[in-house]
A and B are shown apart, each in its own frame.
Chain A
Amino acid sequence: MTSAEVYWEVHAFLAYEARLLDEERYPEWLDLFCDDAHYWVPGVENRGRADTEGSYAPSRMAYFDDTLDDLRRRVVRFTAPTAWAEDPATRHLHVVSNIEVEDTDTAGELLVRSVIVNHRGQGDIDSATLYGRREDVLRRTPEGLRIARRLVVLRHAVLPAKNINTFF
C-alpha cells in the first residue's frame, strides 16, 4: 500500500496523460516517457487454459513493442498533414479506472495497475471501443513521474476495429 498522497499523485498523472491523448497532444505525451521506456501492447490469442504458451508472449506479434524512438516515429505520422485518416479528427476518449499503486523493489519506481477503456468516434457514424488492462512502471524523476514501462493487454483476440490510430 502506498500513501493517499502518492495514490492521488498517480491518479492525477494518469488523468493528465489521458487528456493529452484525448487532445492529440502527442509531443507532450512523449515527454511523459523515460528515455529507456518500453511500450508493449501484445497481440492476444484465443488459446485454451491448459495451453502453456499463454495468450501472449514477447516473441509473438504485437500491436506495439516500442522503444521511445519507435513511439516518436508513430507520432511523426499522426502529425503529418498527409495522415488522411486523421482528418476529420478522431474523437478520442481515454478512460482510466481501477487504479492500484504499489511500491517496487527499485527505489523511486511504482507499479501501477489500471483498466482502460478507449473509445474513438470517427467520420460520421464510425466508432470503436477497446478494453484492456494496463500495468505501468512509473519512475520518479526531477521532472516528476515518468513512464518507464507500460504493458497493455487488450481484451480482444480479434480487434473489433480497423486500426489503432491512438495510444493507450
Chain B
Amino acid sequence: MTTGTDPELLSLCGLDDGWLDRRVFWDQAVYELELERIFARCWLFVAHESQLPKPGSFLTTWMGEDNVLVVRRRDGSIGAYLNSCPHRGNRVCTAEAGTARGFVCNYHGWSFGLDGTLNGVHESAAYGREPTFDQARLGLTPVARLDTYKGLVFATFDPDAPPLRDYLGEFTYYLDVMLDNDAGGTEFAGGSIKSVLGCNWKIAAENFAGDALHAGWTHASGAEAMIGRGVAELGADDADSYHVNAHGHCWEFNLDGVGNAATLGDKRIMNYLRENQERVAERLGELRARMVGSISSVNVFPNFSFLPGQNTFRTWQPKGPHRTELHTWVLVNRNAPPEVKDAWRKGAMMTFSPSGVFEMDDGENWELATRSNQGVVTRRQRLYYGLGSDTAIDHPELPGNVHRGQINDANQRAFYRRWSQLLRAATWDDLEKTR
C-alpha cells in the first residue's frame, strides 16, 4: 500500500524526459519520508542574525514539523533547541519572538537557560532525593549543528550533514547577490507575516526555484496594478536569462537589473538601486550587479525562497502533504537609508504578502494543483516538466549547472532530482553515490 519507498516513484520515472509523478504531492507515506530524510537532515533556514540582536533575544520556528527555539546566548553565540521539555514534552517557549532570561516550562516549572541547560526545577528537594535524576543530562535537545552564511542562520538535525559551506556549495556565488551587495550587510525589516496555504510545500518551493513562466500569466493583474502594464515577455530566443542550480538550490533570472524591483512601484527603491549599481559592480562584478533587482526567483533547498528586488524572504513550512504554513520577512541592506528600508517593507507588502497584488493569485493555483491529485485516476497522469531539455550550457562566469533561458523547467527538474536523491539515500554518503 505504501508508496513512500517505491523506488520507481522516488526516482520519479521519467524526470529526465520531463515527467513528474503526481504522488509526490499527495501521498502521506512520501510526506513522512520527506520529514525524515529531508527536513531532519538538510540545513534549514531558521533566522536572520538581525532577528536576535542581543543576549536573550529569541524566536521560535519550524524545522520540518519540529518546533525549534532559536536563541542569542549570553556569550553572543546563537543556539537552537527543540522547543519541548524533556520532562513531559510541553513547549517551553510559547511566544514567537521576544527577549527572555531563560525559559520556564509552564507545566512543572523546569527552568532552562539561554544555553538550553536545565538550571533548576520546582520542588527541587524531591528531585534531589532521586538517583535517576541527572540535571546535567536533562537540558533542551540542541540541533546537531548551527552555522551562518552572511547573516542567514541555518541549522541541521543531522550530525552527519556536510558543513553548511559544502551544502550551499557554489550557490554562495549567487547568494552574495542579495547578502553581500553592500559593505554593511543585511537585516530583516521588523516583524513577520504568517499565513496558511492548502497546498503541498513543494509546489510553492518549485515555483520560486524556476517558474518565471507563470509571472506573465498568473500575475498579469498584479503587474497592471503596480506598473500599469503586463509582465514583459521573457522567452525570446536571444533572451539574456538563465536557470542555474547547484545541490538542488535554484535561481532563475534575467539581467535586466531592476525588473522585479520595478513592480514595487516606488521611486526611492529604483533610485537606490541605480545609485548603487556601480558600487555593487565593483563588489560583485558587472554580471551579478545586474541580478540584484532583476526578474528572478530563488529557492534554497528545501524550503527557503526569496525574490531579489521585491526582497520577500520566506519559508514554506510543511504541515502535512496538503498544507503549508508560509512565513515571510523582508530583507534590506543594513546601511540603506531608513526611508528606503521602509519603502521595501511596504513594497513587499503590496506585492508579495497575503494581501499583495501578486501573491493574491498564487494561492488558489497551488491549492488546486495539490487537491486535484486526490483523484486516483488523476494521480496516475504524469505532469509535464519538459521545458528547456537541451538548454544546458557552459558559462565562463556562472558556476553550477547553467541553463540558457528563464522560461525553462531545468531548475524544477533539478529540485526534484535532489529531492528524490535525498529520499532514496539512507546516508549522506549514499547521496553522493546517487548523483
Q: Which residues of A contact B (CB under 8 A)?
A: 41-43, 45-48, 51, 53, 56-57, 59-65, 70, 73-74, 76-77, 80-85, 122-123, 126, 157-165
Q: Which residues of B contact A (CB under 8 A)?
A: 94-100, 189-198, 218, 220-222, 224-226, 265, 325, 328-330, 342, 345-346, 348-350, 353-355, 357, 359-361, 363-365, 367-368
Known contacts A60-B191, A163-B355; decide if A51 and B99 are in contact (CB<8 Å).
yes
Asked if A63 and B193 make an inter-chain contact with CB atoms under 8 angstroms apart, the answer reads: yes
Known contacts A47-B96, A84-B361, A158-B195; decide if A41 and B355 are in contact (CB<8 Å).
yes
In the complex, chain A residues whose CB is within 8 Å of the CB of B345: 59, 61-62, 65
Asked if B197 and A162 make an inter-chain contact with CB atoms under 8 angstroms apart, the answer reads: yes
Asked if A159 and B198 make an inter-chain contact with CB atoms under 8 angstroms apart, the answer reads: no
Q: For the complex, what is the distance from the CA of A41 to the CA of B94, rounded to whole Å?
A: 24
Q: For the complex, what is the distance from the CA of A74 to the CA of B355, rounded to whole Å?
A: 9
Asked if A46 and B95 make an inter-chain contact with CB atoms under 8 angstroms apart, the answer reads: yes
In the complex, chain A residues whose CB is within 8 Å of the CB of B360: 77, 83, 85, 163-165
Chain B nearest CB from A167 CB (Å) reads 9
Q: For the complex, what is the distance from the CA of A136 to the CA of B194, rounded to whole Å?
A: 25
Asked if B221 and A159 make an inter-chain contact with CB atoms under 8 angstroms apart, the answer reads: no
In the complex, chain A residues whose CB is within 8 Å of the CB of B363: 85, 162-163
Asked if A46 and B96 make an inter-chain contact with CB atoms under 8 angstroms apart, the answer reads: yes
The 8 Å CB contact of A122, one of B191, B226, B342, B364, is B364
Asked if A161 and B350 make an inter-chain contact with CB atoms under 8 angstroms apart, the answer reads: no
The 8 Å CB contact of B220, one of A73, A80, A158, A165, is A80
Q: For the complex, what is the distance from the CA of A51 to the CA of B221, rounded to whole Å?
A: 40
Asked if B198 and A80 make an inter-chain contact with CB atoms under 8 angstroms apart, the answer reads: no
Most buried by A among B191, B328, B345: B191
Q: For the complex, what is the distance from the CA of A56 to the CA of B329, rounded to whole Å?
A: 15
Asked if A63 and B189 make an inter-chain contact with CB atoms under 8 angstroms apart, the answer reads: no
Chain B nearest CB from A1 CB (Å) reads 35
Known contacts A57-B190, A82-B221, A163-B354; decide if A65 and B98 are in contact (CB<8 Å).
no
Q: For the complex, what is the distance from the CA of A43 to the CA of B348, rounded to whole Å?
A: 13
A sample of 26 cross-chain residue pairs with beta-carbon separation below 8 angstroms, ordered by A number, consists of A45-B96, A45-B191, A47-B97, A48-B100, A59-B190, A59-B191, A60-B190, A61-B330, A62-B193, A62-B345, A63-B193, A76-B224, A77-B360, A80-B224, A83-B221, A84-B218, A84-B221, A84-B361, A85-B364, A123-B364, A123-B368, A126-B367, A159-B193, A161-B354, A162-B198, A163-B360
In the complex, chain A residues whose CB is within 8 Å of the CB of B197: 162
Asked if B225 and A74 make an inter-chain contact with CB atoms under 8 angstroms apart, the answer reads: yes
Asked if A63 and B353 make an inter-chain contact with CB atoms under 8 angstroms apart, the answer reads: yes
In the complex, chain B residues whose CB is within 8 Å of the CB of A42: 191
Q: For the complex, what is the distance from the CA of A43 to the CA of B350, rounded to whole Å?
A: 13
In the complex, chain B residues whose CB is within 8 Å of the CB of A82: 220-221, 224
